[in-house]
Amino acid sequence: NAGVTQTPKFRVLKTGQSMTLLCAQDMNHEYMYWYRQDPGMGLRLIHYSVGEGTTAKGEVPDGYNVSRLKKQNFLLGLESAAPSQTSVYFCASSRNTEAFFGQGTRLTVV
Amino acid sequence: AQSVAQPEDQVNVAEGNPLTVKCTYSVSGNPYLFWYVQYPNRGLQFLLKYITGDNLVKGSYGFEAEFNKSQTSFHLKKPSALVSDSALYFCAVSSPGYSSASKIIFGSGTRLSIRP
């Protein structure tokens, strides 16, 4: 049982480049989330989804887009990366109580 | 709007002593409350949750937390700390039942350091 899997684990981008982070869960969870973790800031919610085909903005959505075309996948896109988006990104899923987290993606924008 | 406050950036405790990591929250409606732990270069691991019922909830690794509705608090506790408890701890809240309330909001984290 893989749980929540994030791809890739590490990435270095140049300013202005685009990329997509993939999150996949095999627990048939309705809810999925994308967070970013920065020192001293805790985890901040970027976007979330309450079901296939739905997305909603979190606390810090600017500069990111998401899609949930399939229930098991939640994609996070950066259209034009900026150094301020250097962070560790975590995906999570839940049935409606506790969330289960992936191992994170460390993204550096230079 | 939902929010979580962890007022201490760091808590230092001697091994064998009791520990408390503080958390207060603000939410409309009845809260679901959670504690997570993060070890270096790892994802977050779920420790325990309060959904309803008994205000004292027990979780993994001997941790427990007490829900106090009047003080809007959910402090994490352990009777006897271990060096291996040293990690980053996060409190989180959600409020199912409201239109945008299935999101889970986290606090800024508290680093727990247990000295031998």
Q: Which one-letter DSSP state was computed for residue B30?
A: S
Q: Which helix (H) or strand (E) holds B11?
A: strand B10-14
pLDDT at residue A53 tops 60:
yes
Instruction: Tell me how close the Cα of B87 comes to any Cα of chain A, in angstroms.
Output: 13
pLDDT band at B100 (very low <50, low <70, confident <90, very high): low
Residue from B37, B106, B111 whose CB has the most chain A CBs within 10 Å, to mutate: B106
Structure tokens at B92: 């989180």
pLDDT greater at residue B40 or residue A1: B40
Question: Could you tell me whether strands A105-109 and A10-13 are parallel, antiparallel, or unpaired per DSSP bridges?
Answer: parallel
The reply to whether A39 touches chain B by the CB within 8 Å rule is no
Do the chains contact at B46 and A90, CB–CB below 8 Å?
no
pLDDT band at A99 (very low <50, low <70, confident <90, very high): very high
pLDDT at residue A94 tops 70:
yes
Q: What is the pLDDT of residues B56-75, one digit of tens each?
A: 999 999 999 999 999 999 99
Q: Which helix (H) or strand (E) holds A59?
A: none
SS3 A88: strand
Instruction: Tell me how close the Cα of A57 comes to any Cα of chain B, in angstroms.
Output: 10
What pLDDT score was predicted for residue A78?
96
Do the chains contact at B102 and A50, CB–CB below 8 Å?
yes
pLDDT band at B95 (very low <50, low <70, confident <90, very high): confident
Q: In whole angstroms, what is the distance from residue B17 CA to residue B81 CA? A: 6
The reply to whether A71 touches chain B by the CB within 8 Å rule is no
What pLDDT score was predicted for residue B82?
97
Residues from chain B contacting residue A50 (CB–CB below 8 Å): 102
- Average pLDDT across chain B, whole number: 92
Q: In whole angstroms, what is the distance from residue A26 CA to residue A70 CA? A: 12
The reply to whether A22 touches chain B by the CB within 8 Å rule is no
pLDDT at residue A28 tops 90:
yes
pLDDT at residue B101 tops 70:
no
pLDDT band at B1 (very low <50, low <70, confident <90, very high): confident
What is chain B's percent helix, strand, coil content, to nearest 5?
A: 5, 50, 45
pLDDT band at A1 (very low <50, low <70, confident <90, very high): low
Q: Which of B66, B60, B76, B70 is nearest to B110 (CA)?
A: B76
pLDDT band at A96 (very low <50, low <70, confident <90, very high): confident
Q: What is the mean pLDDT of residues B35-40?
A: 94
Residue from B34, B51, B103, B111 whose CB has the most chain A CBs within 10 Å, to mutate: B103
